[in-house]
Structure 1
Amino acid sequence: ANANATRPWQIYADLAQHLIAMARPLYASEPFGVDLDATVYAFDATTIDLCLSVYPWAPFRSAKAAIKLHTLLDLRGSIPSFIHITDGKTHEVNILDDLIIEPGAYYLMDRGYLDFARLHRLHATSAFFVTRAKSNTKFKRRYSQPVDRTTSNVICDQTGVLPLFYASKDYPATLRRIVVKDDAGERIIFLTNNFSLKPEMIAALYKQRWQVELFFKWIKQHLRIKTFLGTSENAVKTQIWIAVCTYVLIAIVKKRLHLPHSLYEILQILSLTMFETTPINQLLTPPSGNFDDENQPKQMSLL
């Protein structure tokens, strides 16, 4: 706790960025569930609740404190490429201003990031976004693409503009509106600035956004950042960045050693053998097998 309080958290943040730069090329050709030759990111935030009396520097509500972990996840390998930690009051959409937009990349976001001025910034940078419309989002259709409802769950594929004054001022370009029906029969409305992909592909892309939710779940459950060793802002950020470093290190080990294990299995093995002198590659590499039983020592009977 004392070390976390005194050592600058920026040291671990810089280490994490260095590890991320090592990990992402290893997963550059990794499939992620959609056959698309492009970089695809999922952007979201998760809230970690804290006690207001112990963490007064992280206000959230009148009687509760919290921090938010904003993450841009590269879906190829589920490697975080951008992480930003704020107090609980900071709205997720504001962090879009801190992103360095990559032309040609796809950004998947839920309806909490539906800010047309910021989405137009993505569009102006030649990047693509896929998000969901809110229930009160107004859309003026100009024309529709034909869809076959008998062979797909796509209800309509429309091109149009935003009719309201402020929305059209923030996003003056045309938008694509796709309505699909999920397995439960409910309508889901997507908004995107990509007009070349099939509507089924747009829906499949957005479905992959849940990988960022799995990343948050993995970090919280397996790297134990729900309980912090220190109470200062520096201590909390230090522990979070150490957890991110651990996650990326395990991802690097998995790829370099060509391991069939999941990240959780690798973490469990390492946590149980942390103080052993066995080399990591021997701990994680499965035995070659095919031993000759005649050359193996016989086990003596106890009876």
Structure 2
Amino acid sequence: MNKGRTILSQVLDFISKYEFDKCVAKYNGNYRVRSFTCWEQFIVMMFAQFTYRESLRDIESCLAAISGKLYHSGVKSKVKRSTLSDANEKRDWRIYAEIAQLLIGEARELYKEDHNFSVNIDEIAYALDSSTIDLCLSLFPWAKFRKNKAAVKMHTQLDLRGNIPTFIEITDGKVHDVNILDALTLEPGAFYIMDRAYLDFERLYHLNECLSFFVIREKRNFNYRRVYSNKVDKTLGFKCDQIIKLTGFYSKQKYPEKLRRIKYFDKETGKTLVFLTNNFTYQATIIAELYKERWKIELFFKWIKQHLRIKSFFGTSLNAVYTQIWIAVSAYLIIAIMKKRLKIELELYTILQILSISLFEKVTVNQLLNNKEYRNNINDDYNQLEMFDL
């Protein structure tokens, strides 16, 4: 007798089933599928992410042990590892990529007023970076990287107001980071904060022409001349704040405008950092603080790799790997959306830990995560109607 909904079922309510079915229909995900639909595949893979399953056999064994609770969580058929493996190999990974994009849009709306961003500016700030996921060359020959090594890269643009990824592109390991600048939809007035891997003057000039701002680390081997020097507060660690023009034969053709060069000594790390930017308005302290905020994207990659399953994979094909990564991203976004919608004060990691041991409990998510007193008013005899009012 069912006297409530499982936590897993309630968590999945944060995904629009209507939009999910539209994505499945767009890529014919359920074509000639008699059992174990894309929705059931998604539920099982979410279960694997939330509970840190190690393999297909691990997933099958755990779900077999709680088979009586699966139906009420949305899985109507028995889960076999061969069935799940086939689904991951054959169901188009773009279904789950589009689901993640829908969740990104919802999460960005919820976090647009977030106070996690410490820099006092009106513009939106994005951090750009990539994370390499190492793979075995003999098992993943399609994931080109190096002579004796395979890998995929997760290129990400992170909205620094709420640590929400706004753009994710998954490629093989040989795709250089700077190429992703060509795939971005640039926003006028927004800041794009990058490390030295993205230093390409032609692409940076395109950002400048789109009225976007960038803050990027300087490489050592480029030539320039100083046009003007602004005053700096050396007690704060600033060495110089210069207006420069490029003098290299190719670089001055690719970026003919002036640039701003700021040299800063970080007392915490003992490193000297040199920034290039096309913003001439904000003080040097703001530019340095913006670059410091870029560290949040490193923390995002660390969180994803440590707490979700994207370093060991349940399949070896490109489709299986991409499917698992996109579902992992969706898991992160669902937790972030839950935190805002339910006004949960816990950290994302703590929420994930609680969910990992409670997915098949039949209490409300709000009670579980907010630790509120809850009274279950469901009658003991759920299916029996009362003939008389007592």
TM range (shorter): over 0.9
Residue 171 in structure 1 maps to residue 255 in structure 2: yes
2:197 aligned residue (102, 108, 112): 112
* 1-structure distance, mates of 2:168, 2:295: 17
User: Shift of residue 246 of structure 1?
Assistant: 0.6
SS in 1 for 2:130: strand
* 1-structure distance, mates of 2:322, 2:234: 49
Q: Which has the higher helix share?
A: 2
Deviates more, 1:1-10 or 1:243-252: 1-10
User: Which ranges of structure 2 fall in alignment gaps of 5 or more residues?
Assistant: 1-84, 375-390
SS in 1 for 2:288: helix
CA contact under 8 A between 2:367 and 2:373: conserved in structure 1? Answer: no
SS in 2 for 1:191: strand
CA contact under 8 A between 1:220 and 1:226: conserved in structure 2? Answer: yes
Give the corresponding residue for 1:59. Answer: 144
1:201-245 C-alpha deviation (Å, 9 max, x unpaired): 100100110111111111111012101001000000000000000
User: Shift of residue 138 of structure 1?
Assistant: 1.9
Residue 182 in structure 1 maps to residue 295 in structure 2: no
User: Shift of residue 137 of structure 1?
Assistant: 2.4
1:72 aligned residue (142, 157, 160): 157
- Code of the residue aligned with 2:329 in structure 1: it is V
1:29-73 C-alpha deviation (Å, 9 max, x unpaired): 112121111111000001000011100110111111000000000
SS in 1 for 2:233: coil
User: What fraction of aligned residue pairs are identical, expressed as a percent?
Assistant: 57
User: Shift of residue 185 of structure 1?
Assistant: 3.8
Give the corresponding residue for 1:253. Answer: 338
User: Shift of residue 258 of structure 1?
Assistant: 1.2
User: Shift of residue 260 of structure 1?
Assistant: 1.0
CA contact under 8 A between 1:42 and 1:109: conserved in structure 2? Answer: yes
SS in 2 for 1:134: coil
Task: Map 1:123-162 onto structure 2 (within 5 A).
Answer: 123-150=208-235, 152-162=236-246
* 2-structure distance, mates of 1:82, 1:148: 37
CA contact under 8 A between 2:366 and 2:372: conserved in structure 1? Answer: no
User: Shift of residue 92 of structure 1?
Assistant: 0.7
1:114-171 C-alpha deviation (Å, 9 max, x unpaired): 0000000100000000000011122211010111213x21111000110111000010
* 1-structure distance, mates of 2:373, 2:365: 16
The CA RMSD over aligned residues, in Å, is 1.2
User: Shift of residue 282 of structure 1?
Assistant: 1.3
User: Shift of residue 287 of structure 1?
Assistant: 2.8
SS in 2 for 1:165: coil
Residue 122 in structure 1 maps to residue 242 in structure 2: no
Residue 5 in structure 1 maps to residue 98 in structure 2: no
SS in 1 for 2:234: coil
- Give the paired residue count: 288
User: Shift of residue 280 of structure 1?
Assistant: 1.2
- Code of the residue aligned with 2:167 in structure 1: it is F
Residue 44 in structure 1 maps to residue 95 in structure 2: no
* 1-structure distance, mates of 2:362, 2:95: 28
SS in 2 for 1:107: strand
* 2-structure distance, mates of 1:39, 1:2: 42
Give the corresponding residue for 2:69. Answer: none
CA contact under 8 A between 1:266 and 1:284: conserved in structure 2? Answer: yes
* 2-structure distance, mates of 1:35, 1:161: 28
User: Shift of residue 288 of structure 1?
Assistant: 6.1
Give the corresponding residue for 2:111. Answer: 27
* 2-structure distance, mates of 1:249, 1:271: 14
* 1-structure distance, mates of 2:177, 2:243: 28
CA contact under 8 A between 1:2 and 1:230: conserved in structure 2? Answer: no
TM-score by length of 2: 0.72
CA contact under 8 A between 1:103 and 1:127: conserved in structure 2? Answer: yes
TM-score by length of 1: 0.93
* 1-structure distance, mates of 2:272, 2:223: 16
SS in 2 for 1:70: strand
- Code of the residue aligned with 1:12 in structure 2: it is Y
2:316 aligned residue (213, 231, 235): 231
Task: Map 1:218-297 onto structure 2 (within 5 A).
Answer: 218-287=303-372
Which of 1 and 2 has greater Rg?
2
Give the corresponding residue for 1:296. Answer: none
- Code of the residue aligned with 2:229 in structure 1: it is S
1:58-95 C-alpha deviation (Å, 9 max, x unpaired): 01111110000000000111100000000011111111
